[in-house]
Chains A and B, each alone.
Chain A
Amino acid sequence: MNNIGKNYLDIRYMDTLASGNTLLHRLDPRAKLITTLLFIVAVVSFDKYTLLAFVPFFIYPMALISAGGLPAGYFLKKVLQVSPFAILVGIFNPIMDKEIIFHIGSIGISGGWISFLSIILRFFLTVTAALILIALTGFNAVCQALTRLGMPRAFVVQLLFFYRYIFVLVDEAERMETARSLRSFNSRSMRFRIFISIIGHLLLRSLDRAERIYLAMRCRGFDGHIRLIRPIKLGWKDVAFVTVWLFLFVVFRMNNIPMRLGELVTEVFR
């Protein structure tokens, strides 16, 4: 199996995780969705030179991973796999922003490096939180929560279908890639023209498939509404979950706790 296949099969593993049955798994998907969004907003809202203040926020993913019985290594691997995006976003900061902010010994640290590191940390926190949300809830339940929270059905249905068929599409891409590599003996990389043609074929096949699926839906009385069955109920546990985390996020956001601790310690030893 080639690399495309391996990575995507790995994503399906999250569905397996979501079928767990801990307290966190049983929470209302809406509670988890809202908490995750609050977390992301809190993390993203910091000033661009923030580093230390992010430290307490690591409590959230760590608590969820341990209480939900999730494999931490898996998330670390997933985040690292997509990290090139974050690096690409921040990589020019050290070049653009050369103003020295502070010194470690005789080495001056420029604002660019700080903001670069800050981007990486934010990225790490937010992506982990989103992955944990899906691993604790399951993609479909997240979609259901989105509907209940007022997201237009059309978007939710798009998301559901995206998630259902991305694997089928990847399978198809994989077969084409295997067929190509078996017939192009020495070159591992793809020539641009061939790449274009493969992508084109993939698009045509997807269109055909979309038409067949639509037909299958029409045959079973589809009228533009997707109806989901599982009822979801908001209980006191869910409210407590959101409230406690909201409280912590606000505390973490308003106070730079590591800085305070540092000050406290230096105060004591003065």
Chain B
Amino acid sequence: MSHHIVEAGDLHYIYPDGTVGLNGVSFRITHGESVALVGENGAGKSTLLLHMNGYLSATQGGMRIGDFLVSPASLNTVRRSVGMVFQNSDDQLFMPTVFEDVAFGPMNLGLEKEELERKVMEALDTVGAAHLKNRPPYRLSQGEKRSVAIATVLAMSPDILVMDEPTSSLDPTSRVRLIELLKTFSHTKIIATHDLDMAMDLCERTIVLHQGRITADGPTMQLFQDEALLHGSNLEKPLRMQGCPICGLSESGKKEV
């Protein structure tokens, strides 16, 4: 299943105004892996994600999705296998009703009638949003919008899910529900986030970006214990790994000194 591999080879990207977005990024993510992409604002997370669907093309180096090098010629194939969930769900939900929105992708792929209906309802059922199908997207709560946005992507049956800040602007309950949902997916997942607690829950591997470079790439638990690394990248230990200011215990049960 080489489809599910995401590989970046020495990616450089310089924005037209001269800002350096990426400065030599290389990694290889294999089938079924779940990877968190963390880093401060402006570290290059979103820039990197936009290379995965070919929206930006590297000034130097290249991105491979499965067997294809991302290029204008392979865009359609690449975009079919990479499902991208945007940070702002309002940008992703543009059709009059939820059903039509989820059906937008499959219809473009040529599905019709019963098959289309089945696909759409399957995706909506997966995210628990089947009851919203006739509602206009702008009337939904943020949590519902996020679920529907994920359904729109699932309906395309992608191999790889790319998510930009999926837990931002969600209330705690919706956040937990989303994490539980994402746990059930077997896709290759790449999640750009500031929510390190979620990264701990979902991703066994983490890539730390800082000023357009990868400063660390390894097992999540190990990286998050490296305070010098986190501090250098303007990040903070996940709350769960910090000592409780009241009882002085962290989740590991170890007494903080």
Distance of A192 Cα from B166 Cα, bound (Å): 40
Distance of A229 Cα from B88 Cα, bound (Å): 25
Interface residues in B, total, Cβ within 8 A = 32
Question: Smallest Cβ distance from B167 to chain A, in angstroms?
Answer: 19
Interface of A is mostly: helix
> Given A15-B136, A160-B96, A227-B107, does the pair A213, B91 have CB atoms closer than 8 Å?
yes
B84 at the interface (CB under 8 A from A): yes
Distance of A160 Cα from B104 Cα, bound (Å): 14
B103 at the interface (CB under 8 A from A): yes
Contact A168–B79 (Cβ < 8 Å): no
**Chain A 99-140 against B: per-residue CB contact (8 Å), 1 yes, 0 no?**
000000000000000000000000000000000000000011
Contact A221–B138 (Cβ < 8 Å): no
Residues of A within 8 A of B79 (CB): 218-221
A26 at the interface (CB under 8 A from B): no
B36 at the interface (CB under 8 A from A): no
Distance of A219 Cα from B103 Cα, bound (Å): 13
> Given A221-B108, A222-B108, A227-B107, does the pair A167, B55 have CB atoms closer than 8 Å?
no
Question: Smallest Cβ distance from A171 to chain B, in angstroms?
Answer: 9
**Chain B 99-129 against A: per-residue CB contact (8 Å), 1 yes, 0 no?**
1100111011100000010000000000000
Residue of A nearest to B96 (CB): A140
Interface residues in A, total, Cβ within 8 A = 25
B92 at the interface (CB under 8 A from A): yes
Contact A219–B136 (Cβ < 8 Å): no
Contact B86–A216 (Cβ < 8 Å): yes
A161 at the interface (CB under 8 A from B): yes
**Chain A 154-170 against B: per-residue CB contact (8 Å), 1 yes, 0 no?**
00000011001101100
B80 at the interface (CB under 8 A from A): yes
> Given A215-B55, A218-B79, A221-B156, does the pair A209, B91 have CB atoms closer than 8 Å?
yes
Contact of B108 among A15, A160, A220 (CB under 8 A): A220
Distance of A227 Cα from B108 Cα, bound (Å): 8
Question: Smallest Cβ distance from A130 to chain B, in angstroms?
Answer: 19
Contact A164–B91 (Cβ < 8 Å): no
Q: List 26 A-B contacts (CB under 8 A).
A: A140-B96, A160-B96, A161-B94, A164-B96, A167-B138, A168-B90, A212-B88, A213-B92, A215-B55, A216-B92, A217-B94, A217-B104, A219-B79, A219-B82, A219-B84, A220-B153, A221-B76, A221-B108, A221-B109, A221-B156, A222-B104, A223-B108, A227-B104, A229-B100, A229-B107, A229-B116
Residues of B within 8 A of A (CB): 53, 55, 76, 79-80, 82-84, 86, 88, 90-92, 94-97, 99-100, 103-105, 107-109, 116, 136, 138-139, 152-153, 156
